[in-house]
Chains A and B, each alone.
Chain A
Amino acid sequence: MALVLNEEQGMLRDSVKAFLSERAPVAHLRKLRDSRDALGFDRQLWRQFADQGYSAILVPEAQGGLGLGAVEAGIIAEALGRTLTPWPFLSTAVLAARTLARAGSPAQQTELLPKIAAADVVIAYAVDEASKHRPAAIAAKAARDGSGWRLDGAKTFVLDGHVADRFIVAARTSDLGLTLLLVDPRAAGVQIERTLMVDAHNAARLRFDGVRIGADAVLGKADAAGAVLDEVLDLGRAVIAAQLLGLADAVFELTLAYLKERRQFDRAIGEFQALQHRAAELYIDIELTRALVLGALQAVDENPAKAALLVAQAKAHACTTADRAVQEGVQMHGGIGMTDEFDIGLYMKRARTLQELLGDAGFHADRVAAMNGY
C-alpha cells in the first residue's frame, strides 16, 4: 500500500484542519484554562465537531457511524494535535468506540455507539494505576458477586474522567485474566477526583470501594479481555502518535517562521548555521515520524500481525520527535519562548502529557526489543 494519503483522506485532513483552526484554535484552550472552566471543554463546540462526522469515524455504519479506520482517526488526531483542542476524542471516539465495536453486546452497542457518533456521551478509559503506564500490572480487582461483580481498586490519569458519563475499567478477575467493565460514575462506592493537568486537558483519579456492577456491564467475555485491551491500546497509541506528529508540525512551523523573522547581528537568526543544522535535523525527524505513523496506522487497519511492532515504534518515535520539537522551539525563541503569553509553552506541556499517555518512548523501546527477540 502506498505510504501517502488517498484522495478522500486528503480531503478529510484539509477539512478537519480548517474546522479546528477556525473554531477551536490554541486561543480556545487558553480561554478554557484561564477561566478555570468546570468542564474543561466546550460541549457545544464538540457537538459541532461531531456534526461533521469527526466523532463517528470508528463507529460502525450499523450504529450510525462512518465505519472508517485508524488512518482516518489519526488524521483527526493530527489536526487536534496542531490546535491542542482538549476534546474527549481519544477517550470516547477512539478507545471507547473501538472497544464497544469489538467487544460490546448488541444492547451496549445500540445504547452507546450512536451517542458517541453524536457527541452525546463521554466515556473515559480507566487503565493506569501508577504514575507510569504498566498495563501488565493492573491490580484493580473485580470479584464475582451473585450474578454480577464487585469492583475494588484505584485508577489514575483517567483522561476526561471528571466529566465522564461512563467509565470503561480494566480490572483483574483472575490471576491471568482481565475483564473490561462499564461503570456508572454515580454508582455507590465510586470516588472521582478531578486532576488539573499541566496541559489543561483534564483527567481524574478514581477510587472504587466495593462498587457493585451488573452482569450486563461486562464488555465481551469475562477474564478474556486481554486481546481486546491490547488491540485497543495499540490503536490508541497509534492515534496519540499522530497527535504528537501534528503537534510537532505546528511547533516547527512556528519556530521556522521565527527563524526567518527575528533579526540579531543585522541578520535573520535563521542565517546562523548552528540553528540551520538543528532545524534541518528536526525537519528530518518529523518526516521520519510522519512516515512511521502512517505505516503504523495502516498496519492497524490492514495488517494486524505487524501492527504491534509498528505501533510501538511509531509511539516511541513520535514521543522523541515531539520532545525535540518543543525543546528546540522554546530555545530558538529565546526569552519569548519562556513566556506564558506565547503559545509554545502550551505545546511543550501537551507534548509532555501525550508522551506519558499509554507509554513513553522508553516503554515502547522496551516492547520493540522484546518483540524483536532480544
Chain B
Amino acid sequence: MSELETFRRETRAWLEANCPAQMRQPVASESDACWGGRHFKFQSEAQRRWLQIMGERGWTVPAWPKAYGGGGLSKEEAAVLNAEMRALGCRPPLVSFGIWMLGPALLAHGTEEQKLEHLPKIARGEIRWCQGYSEPNAGSDLASLATKAEVHDDHLIINGQKIWTSYADEADWIFCLVRTSTAKKHTGISFILFDMESPGVSTRPIVLISGKSPFCETFFDDVRVPRRNVVGELNAGWTIAKYLLTHEREMIGGIGERSNVKPLGEFAADAVGRDASGRLSEASLRAQIARFEIDEAAFRLLLQASGDRARRGEGNPAMSSALKFYGAELNKRRWELMISAAGADGLEWEGERSNEGTLARTWLRSKGNSIEGGTSEIQLNVVAKRILGLPGV
C-alpha cells in the first residue's frame, strides 16, 4: 500500500473516531460556521471541541508548516484529508479570512517575525481578521484608494475610510491597503496589519438585501500602527494585495463546491413533487437543473485539473480569475434554482418553519458572489488580457 493510502486509512479512522456527530451536519448558513476570534461565541460544545482537537493537529490549516501552527502536510495529503472530511460530511473546524487570504500572503511575503506572530493565532482560531481593501471611491479600480498613512520613524498614522469590510465589527485585526505615496498610483500603496481595538478605529454595520449586516463602513481617525506591521516594503503593497486576491478568488470560486447541502435535483424533487415515473414533475425546472448539474460536474473537474496543472508547474495565475468568475456565477444559478424549486415556501422571511428565512436570505446573499473579490466583469477582463492576450486598456 502506498504511503498516501496508509495516510488515507489512518485519517478516515481518526475522523470517524473524533469528529463529533453534530459537526457532521450540513452548515446551514454563514453564521452557522466557526469563525473563531477573541469574541466568538461557540454555538455548541461540539463546535468548540472540534476546533480544539483539529487545531492541536494543525488540521485547521493542514498544508501550512508545523512551525506556524499548520499540519505540515503535503498538498497531496491535504487533498486526501479534504476528501475524507467531505466523504464523512465533516464540517471545516474553522473558516476565516486569515486562513483563506492573509495566511497565504504572509507565508509568501511576511517576515519570519510576522509569520510567527500571526499565523499560529489564525491556525488556532484565536484572532479573526477582516479585509480593508475597498473604499467608497475605490471599488473595481482598487488601486485608486486614498486612505492615507503618514510615515514616521517607527510608526504610521492612518486616516481615511474603508467600505464593504466584511465582519469588521466582529474582527480582531485588519489587513489593510493604505496610500503611503501619491507620486504613483500602484507603487504608492502599502500593505499593513493592525488591531481593530487600536484607538481611532470605528465601524458602522451596513444592512444587506438579505436583511443581515455582515459588512461595515470602517473609519480610521489618527490610528497609530507600528512600522514593523507593514508587510513587504513600504510602497510595494500592491503586489501582495494582488497575490492575496488570487487566493480570495479561489476561495469564492469554490464556495458552492465546499457547501455540503443536499443535491439540487433531490431538493427540487422533494419540494415540487414527482410524476408517476419518478421524474421531477416540472419539465422545465428538471431540464434546467440537469444542465446546472452538468456544468457543476465540469466545474468540479476543472478545479481539480487546474490544481493538477499547477502542481506540474503548467498553471496560469490568471486561471484563478476564470474559476472565480465561473464558480460565482454557478453558485448564483444554484440558489436561483433552489428558490424557484421552493416556490412560495421559499419566500418566507421569518419564523421557525423557514428557519428565519434561511433559504431566501442565502439566495439573496449569493448575489454578492459575483461582486465581492472583484466583479465578474473584472474577472473576464483579466481572462481576456492575461490568458487570451487580447489588446486594450
Q: Which of A313-371 contact B (CB under 8 A)?
A: 313, 316-317, 362, 364-366, 368-370
**Pairwise interchain contact B388-A283, C-beta atoms closer than 8 A:** yes
Residue pair B391, A4 in contact (C-beta under 8 Å): no
- With A3-B308, A374-B268 known to touch, is A288 a contact of B392 (CB < 8 Å)? no
Give the CA-CA distance A295 to B302 in the complex, in Å.
10
Which of B280, B298, B381, B390 is the one whose CB lies under 8 Å from A288? B298
**Pairwise interchain contact B326-A288, C-beta atoms closer than 8 A:** yes
In the complex, whether A271 has a CB less than 8 A from a CB of chain B is yes
Say which residue of A256, A259, A260, A310 sits within 8 Å of B297 (CB atoms). A310
Once the chains bind, are A3 and B301 in contact (CB under 8 Å)? yes
The answer, among B274, B279, B287, B297, for a CB contact under 8 Å with A292, is B297
CB of A277 within 8 A of chain B? yes
Given the known interface contacts A313-B294, A373-B269, the answer about A280 and B380 at a Cβ–Cβ threshold of 8 Å is yes
> Scoring B residues 290 to 325 as 1 if CB is less than 8 Å from chain A, else 0, what string do you get?
110111011101101100110010100000001001
**CB pair B301 A270 closer than 8 Å:** no
Q: Are B302 and A369 in contact (CB under 8 A)?
A: no
Known: A271-B390, A365-B291. A374 touches B265 (CB 8 A): yes
Residues of B within 8 A of A277 (CB): 377, 380-381, 384
A364 nearest in chain B by CB position: B294
* B305:A373 contact, CB within 8 angstroms: no
**Interface hits, B346-393 → A, CB 8 Å:** 377, 380-381, 383-385, 387-392
Cα–Cα, bound, A290→B263 (Å): 24
- A4-B302 Cα distance, complex, nearest whole Å: 11
**Considering the complex, which residues of chain A in the window 251-306 have a beta carbon less than 8 Å from any beta carbon of chain B?**
256, 259-260, 267-268, 270-271, 273, 276-277, 279-281, 283-284, 287-292, 294-295
Determine the chain B residues whose CB is within 8 A of the CB of A316 once the complex forms: 291, 294
Q: How far is the CB of A309 from chain B (nearest CB, A)?
A: 8
Q: Report yes or no: A369 in contact with B326, Cβ–Cβ below 8 A.
A: no
- Give the residues in chain A near B274, CB-CB below 8 Å: 374
In the assembly, what is the distance between CA of A190 and CA of B288, in Å? Answer: 43
- Interface pair A369/B380, CB less than 8 Å apart: no
Q: How far is the CA of A276 from the CA of B380 in the complex (A)?
A: 8
Among A2, A260, A287, point to the contact of B390 (Cβ < 8 A): A260
Q: Is A44 an interface residue (CB 8 A)?
A: no
A295 to B309, CA, bound (A): 14
| Complex Cα spacing A288 to B385, Å | 19
Once bound together, how far apart are the Cα atoms of A295 and B274, in whole Å? 31
**In chain B, what residue has the closest Cβ to A321?**
B298
A35 within 8 A of B: no
Number of A residues near B (Cβ < 8 Å) is 40
By beta carbon, the residue of chain B nearest A295 is B301
Q: Tell yes or no: B233 within 8 A of A by CB.
A: no
- Give chain B nearest CB distance to A373 CB in angstroms: 6
Instruction: Indicate which residue in A270, A276, A365, A372 contacts B287 across the interface (CB closer than 8 Å).
Output: A365
Task: List CB contacts (< 8 Å) of A7-39 with chain B.
Answer: none
Please report the C-alpha to C-alpha distance between residue A361 and residue B223 in the assembled complex, in whole angstroms. 59
User: Which residues in B have their C-beta under 8 angstroms from that of A287?
Assistant: 302, 322
B45 at the interface (CB under 8 A from A): no
- Complex Cα–Cα for A280 and B321 (A): 10
B286 at the interface (CB under 8 A from A): yes
Q: Is the CB of A280 within 8 A of B383?
A: yes
Asked whether B289 is an interface residue with its Cβ less than 8 Å from the other chain, the reply is yes
The verdict on A317 contacting B380 (CB below 8 Å), with A3-B308, A271-B392, A291-B305 known, is: no
Q: Could you tell me the distance between the alpha carbons of A295 and B265 in the complex, rounded to whole angstroms? A: 22
Q: How far is the CB of A155 from chain B (nearest CB, A)?
A: 28
CB pair B266–A374 under 8 Å, yes or no, is yes
Report yes or no: A284 in contact with B388, Cβ–Cβ below 8 A.
Answer: no
Taking a contact as CB atoms closer than 8 A, the residue among B322, B383, B390 that contacts A259 in the complex is B390
Residue of B nearest to A276 (CB): B384
Query: B279 — which chain A residues lie within 8 A by C-beta?
Result: 369-370, 374
Contact A284 B326 (CB under 8 A): yes
Q: Is the CB of A283 within 8 A of B322?
A: yes
Contact yes or no, B290 A280, CB < 8 A:
no
A280, B266: Cα distance in complex, Å: 32
What is the minimal beta-carbon distance from B2 to any residue of chain A, in angstroms? 13
Q: Which residues of B sit under 8 angstroms from A283, Cβ to Cβ?
A: 322, 383, 387-388
Alpha-carbon distance A102/B268, docked complex (angstroms):
39
Q: Give A6 Cβ to nearest chain B Cβ, in Å.
A: 11
A268 and B322 contact, Cβ closer than 8 Å, known pairs A317-B294, A368-B294: no
Q: How far is the CB of A4 from chain B (nearest CB, A)?
A: 5
A3 touches B377 (CB 8 A): no
Minimum Cβ distance to chain A for residue B374 (Å)? 14
A374 to B263, CA, bound (A): 10
Q: What residues of chain B lie closer than 8 Å to A256, measured between beta carbons?
A: 388, 390
Contacts A280-B384, A289-B298, A317-B295; A369 near B305 (Cβ below 8 A):
no
Query: Is there an interface contact between A366 and B290, defined as CB atoms closer than 8 Å?
Result: yes
> Could you tell me if B289 and A279 are in contact, using CB atoms closer than 8 angstroms?
no
Once the chains bind, are B298 and A317 in contact (CB under 8 Å)? yes
- A283-B387, A284-B325, A374-B274 in contact; A291/B301 too (CB < 8 A)? yes
A181–B352 CA distance with the chains assembled, in angstroms? 63
Cβ B391 vs Cβ A270 within 8 A: yes
The answer for the CA separation of A362 and B301 in the assembled complex, in Å, is 21
Question: Min CB distance, B338 to chain A, in Å?
Answer: 14
Chain B nearest CB from A282 CB (Å) reads 10
Nearest Cβ in chain B — how far from A291, in angstroms? Answer: 4
**In the complex, what residues of B have CB within 8 A of residue A284's CB?**
322, 325-326, 383
Contact B290 A369, beta carbon cutoff 8 Å: yes
Residues from chain B with a CB closer than 8 A to the CB of A276 are 380-381, 384-385, 388, 390, 392
With A290-B305, A291-B304, A374-B265 known as contacts, the answer to whether A369 contacts B298 (CB < 8 A) is no
**Alpha-carbon distance between A283 and B325 when the two chains are bound, in angstroms:** 12
A183 to B192, CA, bound (A): 77
One of B266, B305, B377, B384 near A294 (C-beta < 8 A): B305
A2 & B391 in contact (Cβ 8 Å cutoff): no
* Complex Cα–Cα for A374 and B289 (A): 10
Given contacts A3-B304, A268-B391, A295-B297, could you give 10 more A-B pairs where the C-beta distance is less than 8 Å? A273-B381, A276-B392, A277-B381, A280-B322, A288-B298, A291-B298, A292-B298, A317-B294, A362-B287, A374-B266
* 7 smallest beta-carbon distances between A and B, as pairs: A276-B384, A374-B265, A280-B383, A3-B305, A288-B298, A291-B301, A365-B290
Q: B: which residues have CB within 8 A of A?
A: 263, 265-266, 268-269, 274, 278-280, 286-287, 289-291, 293-295, 297-299, 301-302, 304-305, 308-309, 312, 314, 322, 325-326, 377, 380-381, 383-385, 387-392
